[in-house]
Structure 1
Amino acid sequence: MALYRKVEAVTQIPWYYLAGIDQFERSVRRARRDLPKENGLISIYYSPRQWVGPLNPNINDTNPKSIHFFGGIGLDGNGDGKADRNDDEDVLYTFAHYITTYGTDKRYIKIALWEYYQRDKSVGIIMNNARLFEKYGLDIIDKHAFPIPLRWNYSYRSTWGDRRGWGGLRIHEGTDIFAGYGTPVRSTSYGVVELKGWNKYGGWRIGIRDLNNNYHYYAHLSGFEKNLRPGQLVEAGQVIGYVGSSGYGPPGTSGKFPPHLHYGIYKDNGITEWSFDPYPSLRNWERQERQRKK
């Protein structure tokens, strides 16, 4: 936070946008093997040639003047006379300075991000990260809750990858948590509601994206929590809907299987999105919540 605030004071880019960018970069790097991992506190990455300039004979150049001469983007953010791509403050300042060339208010920040990432979804994720950080601070990234209140009756096992036949042969991309009709369903993380409505497979369903760029999918609901809407910020443990048996047909279809929550997680790596087994995470969040209640 101290570093975000320091760069904010110099560039006038609000700290939560800087945090949102940094968190997006961190989640993408952890999801892709072809990208370098974090080399410090800040996860924004510049290649050596991008930093020092494509024709610069010194690939490790830290002289701001020669870097500028050769068309590099590296800047000295902490006033030590060096533009070092391994220095967190220089890296963060360089990205913030790039944004200031477009402007410092929200609409110009969005334009700058689109020009940099060339992907609407990446821009949307970063802007929502910023909204979450602005409202809740930095301490919410790894806070989670089990999707069913522990005092209610429920059961589940690992069902990810099982075969499903309705609508065509496919694998089961989630874990089924069986519970009675009307059992509250809670958000497992802090995040933003991306989707709410009907799907012929999932019935009444909700999609929420968290700060780690995970998309949490809650399906077969009997209904939604009142006033829940796309774009809304939600907290870990907040009730978002209720267990049902909707789906496998046109809007309103229900009762083709026992009531349960289908819970899935999808990861975005900045290019594409795929599902992964949520069962280990569910077991971990359930255990953590039980420990907190002791």
Structure 2
Amino acid sequence: MLLIFSIITPSLATAAEKTDQEKLYETRMDLYQKTEAITHIPWYYLAAIDQYERNLRYSRKDLPKPDGAIGIYFSPEIWSGAVNPNKEDTDPFTIHSFAGFGLDGNGDGKAKRLDDEDVLYTMAHFIETYGTSHDDIKIALWDYYQRDKTVGIILGHMQVFKKFGTVALDKHAFPVPLRSNHSYKNTWGDRRGWGGRRTHEGTDIFASYGVPVRSTSYGIVEIKGWNKFGGWRVGIRDLNNTYHYYAHLNGFAKDLQVGQIVEPGMIIGSVGSSGYGPPGTAGKFPPHLHYGMYKDNGYTEWSFDPYPHLRSWERQERARR
């Protein structure tokens, strides 16, 4: 009996984790839709803002990690008012008197900065003061974040949530078909000569010409075209504020366009060797996919090692098969 218990425990734990995640998605969707009914701000805009801010909190050290269902963060000064002597004020009247943002979203008479309903309603109410049309919401987002790129990322998230009608979009795929003859190792940080001294910001996946290249995530195509160091390349922004860079392609998928919504496994191009050296050297280097990942933290964007993610996504896809 002890042996049997030790064998089945991991699978039971995994099932429980999935159930908890599904419950969390349901809780978030309930909160989004409840707030939409009150403020008339469509749920997918609220989900996009929440998703963006949650990822900020995971990528920055100056923000506390989220511990509730909603990831939107208001500092004590913003919530209670910059000159409010009580930085954890929960009285809507005094918060308003000190020009704080905090509002009571669940009708309990208190505006609690760490309450999911109060936080989501406060953000939605701020946007509602500008109006409920797409253009109104876009202006509200710019006034709040004061950054064009942030507004673009949030509106991209919104389109993905709206298209699929759910927030349960955490599936990933490996960039090339598992059945293809491919190989890769951790090439992060290797030296590169073409284009001047620089480090390798990605993982090279070697495969034959024409092997399909696939989106690894849900997201939006941000760039498509030519770069003298990357050749034919595609850039996709996912729901984790992460930019995925696919370079040295042989070509693009038919009708692939900037602004297009993609999902895991969707073909976006094929493996090639374009841009891998000076003009005229195409075809003289081994064909491969350069795959890079870049994180946006609300201020700037930096590259990080994609190799551990690639290994994880490969294992997950094999397990699903």
Q: Is TM-score (shorter-chain normalized) higher than 0.5? A: yes
Structure 1 residues 75, 37: CA separation in 2 closer, same or farther (over 3 Å shift)? same
How many Å apart are 1:128 and its aligned residue? 0.6
State the match for 2:162 in structure 1.
Answer: 134
1:171 aligns to 2:199 (yes or no):
yes
What amino acid does structure 2 have at the position aligned with 1:10?
Answer: I
Distance 1:211 1:63 in 2: 35
- Specify which of 243, 246, 255 is matched with residue 218 of structure 1: 246
State the match for 2:174 in structure 1.
Answer: 146
Distance 2:166 2:279 in 1: 39
1:40 aligns to 2:91 (yes or no):
no
How many Å apart are 1:249 and its aligned residue? 5.7
Structure 1 residues 211, 277: CA separation in 2 closer, same or farther (over 3 Å shift)? same
State the match for 2:36 in structure 1.
Answer: 8
What amino acid does structure 1 have at the position aligned with 2:236?
Answer: I
Unaligned runs of 5+ in 1: none
Distance 2:280 2:42 in 1: 44
SS at match of 1:129: helix
How many Å apart are 1:39 and its aligned residue? 3.4
State the match for 1:237 in structure 2.
Answer: 265
Please say which of residues 87-96 and 36-45 is displaced more in the overlay. Answer: 36-45
State the match for 2:275 in structure 1.
Answer: 247
CA deviation digits over 1:41-100, x for unaligned, max 9? 111111112111222222221111111112111101111111111111000000100001
Q: CA RMSD in A?
A: 1.3
Paired residues for 1:106-117 under 5 Å: 106-117=134-145
Distance 1:148 1:102 in 2: 44
Structure 1 residues 253, 109: CA separation in 2 closer, same or farther (over 3 Å shift)? farther
Distance 1:117 1:292 in 2: 40
Unaligned runs of 5+ in 2: 1-28
Asked if 1 retains the 8 angstrom alpha-carbon contact of 2:276 and 2:285, the reply is no
Distance 2:52 2:71 in 1: 9
Structure 1 residues 257, 140: CA separation in 2 closer, same or farther (over 3 Å shift)? farther
Paired residues for 1:25-104 under 5 Å: 25-104=53-132
Please say which of residues 221-230 and 241-250 is displaced more in the overlay. Answer: 241-250
Asked if 1 retains the 8 angstrom alpha-carbon contact of 2:47 and 2:167, the reply is no
- Specify which of 189, 203, 209 is matched with residue 161 of structure 1: 189
How many Å apart are 1:259 and its aligned residue? 0.4
CA deviation digits over 1:232-273, x for unaligned, max 9? 000100000000010046788622411000001011101101
Asked if 2 retains the 8 angstrom alpha-carbon contact of 1:140 and 1:190, the reply is no
What amino acid does structure 2 have at the position aligned with 1:114?
Answer: W
SS at match of 2:204: strand
SS at match of 1:148: coil
Distance 2:80 2:162 in 1: 33
Distance 1:67 1:139 in 2: 32
Structure 1 residues 65, 251: CA separation in 2 closer, same or farther (over 3 Å shift)? farther
SS at match of 2:298: coil
Asked if 2 retains the 8 angstrom alpha-carbon contact of 1:141 and 1:212, the reply is no
Asked if 2 retains the 8 angstrom alpha-carbon contact of 1:198 and 1:251, the reply is no
SS at match of 1:26: helix
1:182 aligns to 2:225 (yes or no):
no
Asked if 1 retains the 8 angstrom alpha-carbon contact of 2:113 and 2:119, the reply is yes
TM-score between both structures, scaled by the size of structure 2: 0.89
What amino acid does structure 1 have at the position aligned with 2:309?
Answer: S
What amino acid does structure 2 have at the position aligned with 1:43?
Answer: G
How many Å apart are 1:194 and its aligned residue? 0.2
SS at match of 1:59: coil
State the match for 1:122 in structure 2.
Answer: 150
Please say which of residues 87-96 and 64-73 is displaced more in the overlay. Answer: 64-73
Structure 1 residues 220, 64: CA separation in 2 closer, same or farther (over 3 Å shift)? same
